[in-house]
C-alpha cells in the first residue's frame, strides 16, 4: 500500500489537513443553467458567503457523454467554450477567491492545468480512469478524488495510479451523489474509515435536499469525524428548479452554513492533550474542590479527617485525593479557618 501522500496541503494562505479549519468549496456544478452572467453571480455569492473556493465544472461535450446518452441534449444547452471558461476562471481569480475546476475528460483537465487552477476535482467516475488520473497527478496541482460507491480496492488502485504519476497533494472525498441523497444513505462514518485506511486528507461533499433543515447542518457531523475539506452546492434560487439545485444552498443559506462550519470547528477543539486554556483555568478555579480547614488549627496539631472538609474555595488548593498523604502528620504552621491546607503545611 502506498502511503506517502502529503498529510497537509497548502493552497494560497490556507492549509488543508488535521488541526486546520475545514477548507470550504462552493460547488456550482451546472446551477448556472448555461447563463454566463449567472456563473459570475455564483462566484460573487460564493466569495461573499466566505467560501474558500468556487468550483467551476469544465466538460467537453464530445468527451463527457455519448450522443445517445439522455444527458446529451441538456449538456448541449449549457456548455461553454474554452475561451468562455477562461474568461470566467479569470473573473473568479480577480475576485480573490480560489478557483477549482471539476473535470470529466482530458480536454477539460488540460484546460484546468493551462489556467493553473488552484485545485482540480475528479469525480468517482474517473477513479478507475487512469488517463485522467495520471494527467491531473502529473500536473502537481492539488486535487480531490471522489470515492462514492467505490470499494477500498478501487480507491487504492486509483491512489496508486496517482502516486506513480507524481501526485503528492491528494484529498479523498466521501459523498453519495444522488440528488438529493436520503439521510439513511449518507454513511458519513466512512470519512473515519478513509482517514484510518489511507492516512491522508479526507473531505465530504454533501447532497442532502437543500430544503431539508438537516442539509444545512449535516456537515457538522463530518467535521467531528475529521473532514478536512467540505464541498457544498450553491444555487442562486432553488425555487426556479434549474440544474443542480436539489442539494444546493441559496447564497444567504450558504453564508450561514460557512459561519456554522467555522463555529463547529472551534467547538470541536483537539484530540491531543494540550495545556489548560484560560477558560479551563477559570473553570477549575470555580469548580474543583480543595482540602479546607473546618476551624482554626495550630502548628504542631496532628491533622485528622475531622479537621477538614472537601469543598470549593475562593482559590483552588490541593485535591481531596491527596489528603491521605497529609493525614496524621503535624502541621508546621497555623492554619486559619476556611483556608486551604497544602502539602507544604505538614511535616514531611
Nearby residues of 103 by Cβ (< 8 Å), 6 or more positions away: 58, 59, 109, 112, 120, 121, 122, 132, 136
Quickly name the fold that domain 278-345 has. Type Iii Antifreeze Protein Isoform Hplc 12 (3.90.1210)
Average pLDDT over residues 122-148: 96
Assign 301 to helix, strand or coil.
coil
**CA angle 168–170–171, rounded 5-degree value:** 155
Confidence at residue 84, expressed as pLDDT on a 0 to 100 scale: 96
The answer to whether the CB of 340 falls within 8 A of the CB of 313 is: yes
Percentage of the chain exceeding pLDDT 70: 99
Measured from the Cβ of residue 239, the count of other Cβ atoms closer than 10 Å reads 9
pLDDT tens digits, one per residue of 12-64: 899 999 999 999 999 998 889 899 999 999 999 999 999 999 999 999 988 88
Confidence at residue 188, expressed as pLDDT on a 0 to 100 scale: 96
Domain with CATH 3.20.20.70 in the chain: 9-268
Is domain 9-268 given the CATH code 3.40.50.150 in the classification? no
Residue 242 above 70 pLDDT?
yes
Measured from the Cβ of residue 230, the count of other Cβ atoms closer than 10 Å reads 25
Burial of 232 (0-12, 13-18, 19+ CB in 10 A): buried
Percentage of the chain exceeding pLDDT 90: 82
Per-residue confidence band for 141, with pLDDT thresholds at 50, 70 and 90: very high
- State the Cα torsion 160-194-30-137 to the nearest 10°: -20
Average pLDDT over residues 100-107: 94
Domain with CATH 3.90.1210.10 in the chain: 278-345
Per-residue confidence band for 1, with pLDDT thresholds at 50, 70 and 90: very low
pLDDT tens digits, one per residue of 69-101: 888 888 888 889 999 999 999 999 999 999 999
Grid coordinates of 86: 477562461
Per-residue confidence band for 3, with pLDDT thresholds at 50, 70 and 90: low
Cα separation values, 59 from 76, 85, 119, 124, Å: 11, 10, 16, 15
pLDDT tens digits, one per residue of 280-290: 888 888 999 99
Amino acid at each position: 500500500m502506498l502511503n506517502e501522500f502529503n498529510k497537509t496541503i497548502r493552497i494560497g494562505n490556507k492549509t488543508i489537513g488535521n488541526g486546520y479549519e475545514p477548507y470550504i468549496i462552493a460547488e456550482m456544478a451546472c446551477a448556472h443553467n448555461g447563463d454566463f452572467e449567472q456563473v459570475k453571480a455564483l462566484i460573487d455569492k460564493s466569495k461573499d458567503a466566505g467560501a474558500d473556493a468556487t468550483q467551476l465544472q469544465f466538460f467537453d461535450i464530445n468527451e463527457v457523454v455519448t450522443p445517445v446518452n439522455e444527458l446529451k441534449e441538456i449538456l448541449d444547452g449549457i456548455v461553454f467554450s474554452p475561451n468562455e471558461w477562461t474568461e470566467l476562471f479569470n473573473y473568479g481569480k480577480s475576485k480573490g477567491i480560489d478557483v477549482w475546476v471539476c473535470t470529466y475528460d482530458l480536454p477539460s483537465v488540460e484546460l484546468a492545468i493551462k489556467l493553473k487552477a488552484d485545485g482540480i476535482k475528479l469525480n468517482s467516475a474517473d477513479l478507475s480512469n487512469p488517463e485522467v488520473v495520471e494527467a491531473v497527478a502529473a500536473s502537481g496541482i492539488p486535487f480531490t478524488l471522489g470515492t462514492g460507491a467505490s470499494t477500498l480496492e478501487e480507491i487504492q488502485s486509483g491512489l496508486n495510479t496517482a502516486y506513480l504519476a507524481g501526485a503528492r497533494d491528494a484529498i479523498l472525498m466521501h459523498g453519495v451523489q444522488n440528488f438529493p441523497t436520503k439521510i439513511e444513505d449518507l454513511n458519513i462514518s466512512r470519512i473515519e474509515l478513509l482517514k484510518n485506511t489511507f492516512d491522508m486528507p479526507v473531505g465530504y461533499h454533501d447532497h442532502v435536499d437543500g430544503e431539508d433543515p438537516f442539509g444545512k447542518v449535516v456537515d457538522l457531523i463530518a467535521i467531528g469525524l475529521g473532514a478536512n475539506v467540505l464541498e457544498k452546492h450553491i444555487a442562486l434560487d432553488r425555487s426556479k428548479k434549474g440544474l443542480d439545485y436539489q442539494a444546493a444552498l441559496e447564497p444567504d443559506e450558504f453564508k450561514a452554513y460557512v459561519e456554522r462550519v467555522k463555529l463547529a470547528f472551534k467547538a470541536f477543539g483537539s484530540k491531543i492533550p494540550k495545556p489548560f486554556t484560560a477558560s479551563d483555568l477559570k473553570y477549575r478555579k470555580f469548580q474543583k474542590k480543595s482540602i479546607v480547614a473546618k476551624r482554626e488549627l495550630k502548628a504542631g496539631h496532628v491533622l485528622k479527617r475531622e479537621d477538614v472538609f472537601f469543598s470549593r474555595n475562593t482559590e483552588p488548593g490541593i485535591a481531596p485525593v491527596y489528603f491521605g498523604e497529609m493525614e496524621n502528620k503535624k502541621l508546621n504552621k497555623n492554619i486559619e479557618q476556611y483556608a486551604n491546607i497544602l502539602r507544604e503545611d505538614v511535616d514531611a
